Amino acid sequence: MSGPRILAIDVGTGTQDVLVFEAGTVIENAVQLIMPSPTALIAQRVKQATADRADLLLTGVTMGGGPDHWAVEAHLRAGLQVYATADAARTFDDDLERVRAMGIRIVDGPNGAGGARQLELRDVYTAELMTALRAFGVSTRFDAVAVAVFDHGAAPPGVSDRRFRFDYLREQVDRGIGLTGFGFLASEIPERMTRMRAVAGSWTGAQPLFVMDTGPAAVLGALEDPRVGSTDPVIIANLGNFHTIAALLDGREIRGLLEHHTGELTKAELEAYLEALATGTLSDQTVFDDMGHGALQLGTVSSPPELLTVIGPRRALLEGSRLHPYLAVPHGDMMLAGCFGLLRALAARLPAYAAAIDDQLGAQKPI
């Protein structure tokens, strides 16, 4: 009997990165796709509707923000109407009154939106992906599916999304669960993580669905680089298109954490934050006041970090840095770090797949 086949999808702001894991093959030869992200695709369609002077009806589920949010705001400024079902509207804010204040009209369905052009909001493009794979003769039989998304969570009214997000990260770290513990089977996703739950709710396949946060997935995946995996303590910074996360690992335990918006950071600012993270002096309030999510420091580490590791599509932000970052390339492809992290976390949650994943990725020191 053939070994497991696993579909891993890392959904970012700029791209969605896809890896087809197949037991018994060479990971460097795995089928992979780096495609535009769902939020970028929706933004393109909104912009086309704006150019066509067409009102919009947004249906579907809560998905990632950023480009789609900005495109909808521009659509409204152009004097056009935007209607949205409640679940789709929460893409823009968990508080529907704030969504209405944007100018979006909340409706039950098409009957309340006249002849508006309909766009379905979702983070996973399953049918489209399967069509692409079949077009190249790739089997679409999978034993498990793993998806990573960035989830702010449903902040109560009056509570900052940024603060709510980082409080969740802090609580997870305080639980001592390690990087792999930031992922959940569909039935286990905390109620507050509305974007993860939306992914699970829209999944119709019979396979086990595993959902994880993108930040920890990328950090975990960076450890697949041999130099990074053999270094301890180490700082790993993932410079994503929209968010930057940096983790200080000591004995593979999270001893410090920083999360910020990449677009808000200059090279000098990021260097200063990373130096403070390394020495245990990074201030949570300072990061928050700088429009970041926050920072977490859990005392001092056993020794100064031996390596600053950088991954992510915006890693050029630290080009020529005085910190001399090491650009990690896990299994030959930096863009798939999140997918590799998904596989490792899935193996920890579903041990039946661990042997096949370890065989292909190599044995890894417990996290």
Three-state secondary structure readout of 156-182:
CCCCCHHHHHHHHHHHHHHCCCCHHHH
CB distance 194 to 95 below 8 Å: no
- Does 242 share its domain with 213? no
- Does 287 share its domain with 158? no
- Identify whether 177 is part of a domain: yes
**Structural domains in the chain (count):** 3
User: What residue spans of 210-353 are helical by DSSP H?
Assistant: 214-222, 226-229, 267-279, 284-289, 337-349
- Does 181 share its domain with 301? no
Predicted local distance difference test score (pLDDT) of residue 196: 97
Q: Would you tell me the crossing angle of helices 214-222 and 337-349 to the nearest 10 degrees? A: 100
- Does 130 share its domain with 116? no
Domain end marker among 75, 101, 121: 121
> Residue 280's domain spans which residues?
227-329
- Does 141 share its domain with 174? yes
- Identify whether 366 is part of a domain: no
- Does 42 share its domain with 24? no
- Does 302 share its domain with 321? yes
- Does 84 share its domain with 141? no
CB distance 167 to 29 below 8 Å: no
- Identify whether 258 is part of a domain: yes
* CATH code (residue 47): 3.40.50.1100
Per-residue pLDDT tens digits of the chain, which is 367 residues long = 478 999 999 999 999 999 999 999 999 999 999 999 999 999 999 999 999 999 999 999 999 999 999 999 999 999 999 999 999 999 999 999 999 999 999 999 888 788 899 999 999 999 999 999 999 999 999 999 999 999 999 999 889 999 999 999 999 999 888 999 999 999 999 999 999 999 999 888 889 999 999 999 999 999 999 999 999 999 999 999 999 999 999 988 999 999 999 999 999 999 999 999 999 999 999 999 999 999 999 977 788 898 999 999 999 999 999 999 999 999 999 999 999 999 999 999 999 999 999 999 997 655 4
**Structure-token pair, residue 330:** 């896990």
Predicted local distance difference test score (pLDDT) of residue 364: 64
Domain end marker among 98, 121, 144: 121
- Does 79 share its domain with 54? yes
- Does 31 share its domain with 81? no
Predicted local distance difference test score (pLDDT) of residue 2: 74
- Does 147 share its domain with 42? no
* CATH code (residue 311): 3.30.420.40
Domain end marker among 89, 121, 153: 121
- Does 31 share its domain with 132? yes
- Identify whether 148 is part of a domain: yes
- Identify whether 367 is part of a domain: no
Supply the DSSP string of 180-246, one letter for each residue.
Answer: GGGEEEGGG--TT-HHHHHHHHH---SS-EEEEEHHHHHHHHHTTSHHHHT-SSEEEEEE-SSEEEE
Predicted local distance difference test score (pLDDT) of residue 367: 42
